[in-house]
Amino acid sequence: MTVSLNLVVNDTPISTDYFVQGFIDHTVSGVIEALEGTGKIKDLNLAIDGEKVSVTLNGKAVPTNVFASKIIKSTIFGMVAPLKGVSNPKKVTIVLKK
């Protein structure tokens, strides 16, 4: 269960309801936990700016190759694009604390 979720798209904070928080939590958790060398999420900072994807999991940077970065970016952008207040996402930051 998510303790807190902070979503910022194109430098604009996006409000989320219970359903969207859970959906983002489960989707992002699945993608990140599938990466090699990761584990359960306690504290996650996921930032996408253009083509650059950075993942910090439980205080440690998680390296991503080009393929993983493209999958993460496509998944996140596809997930946030239909949300109210989001238009043409280019920069996304997701902070999860469990």
pLDDT tens-digit readout, 27-54? 999 999 999 889 889 999 999 999 999 9
Distance CA 28, CA 44 (A): 10
CB 7 within 8 A of CB 14: yes
Query: Residue 7's Cα: distance from chain center in Å?
Result: 8
- Which pLDDT score, from 0 to 100, does residue 3 have? 77
pLDDT at 2 over 60: no
| pTM of the entire predicted model | 0.92
Query: At a CB cut-off of 8 Å and minimum separation 6, what does 48 contact?
Result: 54, 72, 73, 76, 77, 91, 92, 93
Residue 1 has pLDDT above 60, yes or no: no
pLDDT digits (tens, 9 = 90+) for 46-91: 999 999 999 999 999 999 999 999 999 999 999 999 999 999 999 9
Q: Is the dihedral of CA 40, 23, 8, 35 positive or negative?
A: positive
pLDDT given at position 54: 97
Q: Give the helix ranges, DSSP H, for 1-98.
A: 18-33, 66-80
